[in-house]
Amino acid sequence: MLRLGVDLGGTKIEIIALDDGGNELARFREATPRGDYRSTLEAVARLVSKVEAELGGERGSVGIGTPGAVSRATGLLRNSNSVCLNGKPIARDLEAVLGRPVRIANDANCFALSEYRDGAARGARVVFGAIVGTGTGAGIVVGGEVLEGVNAIAGEWGHNPLPWPKDDERPGPRCYCGRYGCIETFLSGPGMAALHALSTGDRLPPEEIVARADEGDPSCEHTLLRYEDRMARSLAHVINILDPDVIVLGGGMSNIRRLYRNVPRLWGAYVFSDRVDTRLVPPRFGDSSGVRGAAWLWG
């Protein structure tokens, strides 16, 4: 079976073709048309045609991963960073353009599914895939199936309040969702940069904070220690509720290697158990997990 996965992002559209063993057969990408819904649909159709022609004309299943979610109430996409897609019946329209059924899922769900199928969480029964970058979101896979939830919001971890906040963390930064103190405002890349700027006055990107901490800079080390404790609290909440076998980190912050050592050392103080067997691991496929997971939506 030929499986085609499409990562429909705000800046690029990427397509991948996988065989039954998860082997990559082809991959193409092009820029996402800016603010043009119809052109975006046509770009997806063009990439599907291109990859199928490349592989000798075989017709494949199509899975789509995109930020946001299809509303259970209206069937329309919402919360996408490609705002021209919001309020549109994208699943129905893509099926019409492609002439076949389409499965569509949030990009974080695709990330978690990819890492479950043949990635860092392969074979685990319960997987929590947390994408921590410019924003913070997550996907959940249970028994090999993506958990979407009755409201299609399962995994919206980043828009819960930071657990066990300290006095200087209340009420927390204002989030774009309109509330204060969301996990996303603390754990995202901009959240780390804001934490460092607040305590030092220096506005540094996360990668520079990490590099300086590695070189012995005490202020950057302090920022990372605080960040690690915030991540430990945030993931402890996930463990207390979901009790996953594996937590896979994705996004830009997943490249901070010390997190995999330090955060599990800290989260035991917050988990309601005398032992924590949950593993925290980096992704196997990194930025490719989203597009691979879209292809795996067809099993």
pLDDT tens-digit series, residues 258-285: 999 999 999 999 999 999 999 999 999 9
pLDDT of 7-60, one tens digit each?
998 889 999 999 999 999 999 999 999 899 999 999 999 999 999 999 999 999
Q: What percent of the chain has pLDDT over 90?
A: 89
pLDDT band at 152 (very low <50, low <70, confident <90, very high): confident
Cβ neighbours for 267, distance < 8 A, ≥ 6 positions apart? 232, 233, 235, 236, 239, 276
Rounded to whole angstroms, what are the CA distances from 158 to 25, 58, 62, 172, 238?
A: 34, 40, 28, 13, 11
Q: Enter the CATH code of domain 120-283.
A: 3.30.420.40
Domain limits, the chain: 3-107+288-298, 120-283
Q: Are strands 279-281 and 246-250 parallel, antiparallel or unpaired?
A: parallel
Would you say the CATH fold of 120-283 matches that of 3-107+288-298?
yes
Query: In terms of CATH architecture, what is 3-107+288-298?
Result: 2-Layer Sandwich (3.30)
At residue 11, the pLDDT reads 87
